[in-house]
Every structure is written in C-alpha cells, then in structure tokens.
Amino acid sequence: MSTNKIAVITGAGSGIGLATARMLQEKGYTVYNLSRHPAENEKNKFIFADVSDSLTIKAAIDKVIAESGRIDLLVTSAGMGVSGAIEFIEEEEMKRQFEVNLFGTINTVKAVLPQMRKQKRGRIICISSVAAVYSIPFQAYYSASKAAINSFVDALTNEVKSFGIEVTSVMPGDISTGFTAARIKSNAGDDVYSGVIGSAVSAMEKDEKNGMTPDSVARLVVKLAEKKHVAPLYTAGLQYKTLVFLSRLLPHKLAVKVVGGMYK
C-alpha cells in the first residue's frame, strides 16, 4: 500500500523513533530521520540535525521541503534523560535536559509549522512520558521537561487548529530501549541522601529493562498518524492508561506519596 505521504521523525535512529519509522515505511510513507546519527541498514532518509540547535533543524526541514514539497506528519521522538538529586545535578546537565526534550521539540515544531500552514493540513505527534503526570524522584528535570511538552501541545492545539493542523502528545511508560544506557547519571550527594539516589535509579533501570517494547508505542503513534482526528493527549499501554486515570481520582498528596514509595 502506498500513501505517498511525507513523515519527519526526530530521533529515528533508535528506540521509538526507529520503530515508528519502520511501521510508517511499511504503510508507504517516505520517512526522513532527523538526528545526529543514521540508523544502519534502514531505508529512511537521514538528514543530520541536532534538535537543540534550531539552525540545523531549520536547515534539515528546508531540505525535506525542497525534496518532497510538503510535510504531512511530524513525530518528535528525540529525547534523553538525566538522573540525580535536584540540588546536585550540574547546571549544564540540567539545561541539556530541557534543550533536548523541550526546546528540541519546540525547535522542530516551529520549523515545520510554516509549511503545514501553507498546506492547510498536517499532523504533529510529540513523544512525552507518563513521568509528566507522575513526577519521578531523582528524575525531576526529565519529568518537568515532559510535563512542559504536554502543556506546549495543549496550547499549540488551539493555536493551529484553524489551519487544519492537529497536534497530540503520546505518553509511554517504562520502555526497553537504549535510553536507559544513555542516561546521564549523577550520583553526587548519594552519601547525603543515604544511598537513595543509587537505589532509586537502579529501580528505574530495572523497570525500563522490563518495560514495553518500542514497537508497542510505535503502533499507537502510527494509529494516531492515520486517525481522522486526534485528542491532545494519549497514553501508551493499558497499565499506564490505568495509572493516568487514577491520577485524576487520587488526592494529589496521595499520588505523590505513592510514587515516592516506589523509589526508596
């Protein structure tokens, strides 16, 4: 089946982005991988881009438009994680977390919007996290960056709907990908926190390694890409849908306490 649609995915060299790229290609999409590294032996079109650098992102999007004439779908999948205690994580690492996860998403969305407005249609899918709802101790900056993406998507939804552009955010839970090994880990202050930093991060990594597959999230992303209309927010996986639903029912104080009990 051929759709002749053009998809741009940031971070399609691995993880959720790569799984999504493969599934979209099976449906006939032409897929552009905007990232710092190509995926080996893949058919997607690689263009070097650092999402935290708005100039390289704009240049990459301009190249896509020059080659293909349009962009039907954008999936912002590039992301990274920083773990450690709020007071001890270095400022450079803290800022890097937001530069990639939040501003990387914003840079890419801003770059595609002029073309999508011109087309009077387009679909934007931003990869967020259940950590946006349940802020994880010793992953405060990661959680905050993902919560900011959800707020960004909510605002953007109303800004661009008159142009035929629909925007949504997808929240996965724990995923078994290279994200775990690539995390920037700061154990600074672990002695002050009586070893809790190390044990909490170990618990996170165990959950991630036993988590959902990238394909399970990619299937939802592709479904939303093809759906006639989308809501601003979706959760991937029944377990995590239940958790997000419970977050609306539980008193906030109790929800925070429950999460804290998971990472001692």
Dist. CA 123–CA 167, nearest whole Å: 6
CA 151, 35, 140: angle at the middle one, nearest 5? 40
Q: What is the pLDDT of residue 164?
A: 98
At 155, the amino acid letter reads: A
Residue 25 in any domain: the answer is: yes
Q: Which of 109, 43, 104, 110 is nearest to 78 (CA)?
A: 104
φ/ψ of 174, rounded to 5, equals: -70, 130
The DSSP element (H or E) to which 75 belongs, if any, is strand 73-76
Dist. CA 247–CA 254, nearest whole Å: 9
pLDDT value at 219 more than 50? yes
pLDDT value at 202 more than 50? yes
User: Cβ distance 102 to 79 under 8 Å?
Assistant: no
Neighbours of 255 (CB within 10 A): 18
What band does 180 get if pLDDT is binned at 50, 70 and 90? low
CA count, 13 A, side-chain hemisphere, 231: 6
Mean per-residue pLDDT, 15-42: 91
Domains of the chain: total: 1
CATH number at residue 250: 3.40.50.720
Q: What is the pLDDT of residue 229?
A: 97
Mean per-residue pLDDT, 173-179: 78
Catalytic residue list contains 29: no
Please pick, among 29, 32, 134, 142, the residue that the annotation labels catalytic: 142
Residue 171 in any domain: the answer is: yes
Give me the domain span that covers residue 116. Answer: 6-262
Residue 1 in any domain: the answer is: no
- The alpha carbons of the chain give a radius of gyration, in whole angstroms, of 18
pLDDT value at 165 more than 60? yes
Classify the C-alpha dihedral 137-149-61-93 as positive or negative.
Answer: negative
What confidence tens digit (pLDDT) does each residue in 42-72 have?
Answer: 888 999 999 999 999 999 999 999 999 999 9
Q: What is the pLDDT of residue 196?
A: 86
What confidence tens digit (pLDDT) does each residue in 84-127 have?
Answer: 999 999 999 999 999 999 999 999 999 999 999 999 999 999 99
pLDDT value at 182 more than 90? no
Which stretch of 29-38, 115-124, 225-234 has the lowest confidence by average pLDDT? Answer: 29-38
What band does 177 get if pLDDT is binned at 50, 70 and 90? confident
Residue 184 in any domain: the answer is: yes
Portion of the chain with pLDDT greater than 70, in percent? 98
Put the strands of the sheet holding 73-76 in their side by side order. Answer: 45-48, 30-35, 6-10, 73-76, 122-127, 165-171, 233-235
* Mean pLDDT, all residues of the chain: 92
pLDDT value at 1 more than 60? no
